[in-house]
Amino acid sequence: MTKLALTTSPSVGGDLATAAAVLNNSLCSDQDAVSARERTLAFVATHHDALYRTCLDGHLTGSALVLNAERDRVLLMLHAKLGMWLQPGGHADGEGNLAAVALREAEEETGIVGLRIAEPAVDCDIHDIPARPGEPAHEHHDVRFVVLAPAGAVVAGNHESHALRWVSEDEAQGLATDKSLLRLIRNGLALAQSI
């Protein structure tokens, strides 16, 4: 059985080679996730600025499937800009270690103290971001990690969401979630049992 390793502070730093290593070590098992990983590796090979949001075709992001201490619920946020229920995550902004990106974003967007991130990544996805004023339509090449909240975690979101909610896998299916998020929840909950 594949095991995930928990840490409170993944190493910070690195470049596209670091990001490519994170991608190559990911535990993508679903065909859609494997395809996204391969497309992202090809994107990284042809876009020297893929770690920066100034790469207008798209860029790398890191996101976190935040699980409660019992590992039976996930924390979703109603994204303020996109109006969808999503997992916390955000832009790499030059950071090659995408685990560090995912943990940073989870801490900022949930306000939970004491989060621990599991490595390696458990999923990859590519999603389209619609054009907004001053920003053309582009792709997010997302590398996704399991993050474990401590017992009694207090959630205190920020301006990036309208709401945060702990949900079971079944409850997540009732929200306006996309197929890749449901895949992440299913695989992440299963892999979290190895922690």
CATH of the domain at 89: 3.90.79.10
Is 64 within 8 Å of 144 (Cβ atoms)? Answer: yes
Is pLDDT of 79 > 90? no
In the Cβ-directed half-sphere of 117, how many Cα atoms lie within 13 Å? Answer: 26
Is pLDDT of 175 > 90? no
Q: Which two tokens stand for residue 88?
A: 């916390």
Cβ-proximal residues to 190 (8 Å cutoff; 6+ apart), any chain: none
H or E segment at 193?
none
- Between 12 and 93, where is the model more confident? 93
Name which of 58, 53, 73, 145 is nearest 106 in CA terms.
145
Q: How far apart are CA 97 and CA 85, in angstroms?
A: 25
In sequence order, the β-bridge partners of residue 61 are 91, 142
Q: What are 37-65's pLDDT values in tens digits?
A: 999 999 999 999 999 999 999 999 999 99
pLDDT band for position 157 (cuts 50, 70, 90):
confident
Hey, is 74 helix, strand or coil? Answer: strand
Is pLDDT of 1 > 60? no
In angstroms, the Cα distances linking 184 to 35, 45, 76, 113, 165 are 14, 25, 12, 23, 16
- Segments forming the whole domain that contains residue 73: 5-192
pLDDT for position 194 = 84
Q: Which span out of 6-10, 79-83, 150-154 was modeled with the highest average pLDDT?
A: 150-154
Q: Global pTM? A: 0.94
Number of domains in the chain: 1
Cβ-proximal residues to 36 (8 Å cutoff; 6+ apart), any chain: 28, 124, 125, 126, 141, 142
Angle, alpha carbons 113-180-81 (nearest 5°): 60
pLDDT band for position 15 (cuts 50, 70, 90):
very high
Residue located via tokens 């920020």: 158
pLDDT for position 2 = 65
pLDDT band for position 176 (cuts 50, 70, 90):
low
Is pLDDT of 17 > 60? yes
Name which of 85, 81, 80, 59 is nearest 139 in CA terms.
59
Q: What are 22-33's pLDDT values in tens digits?
A: 999 999 989 999
pLDDT for position 158 = 83
Is pLDDT of 186 > 60? yes
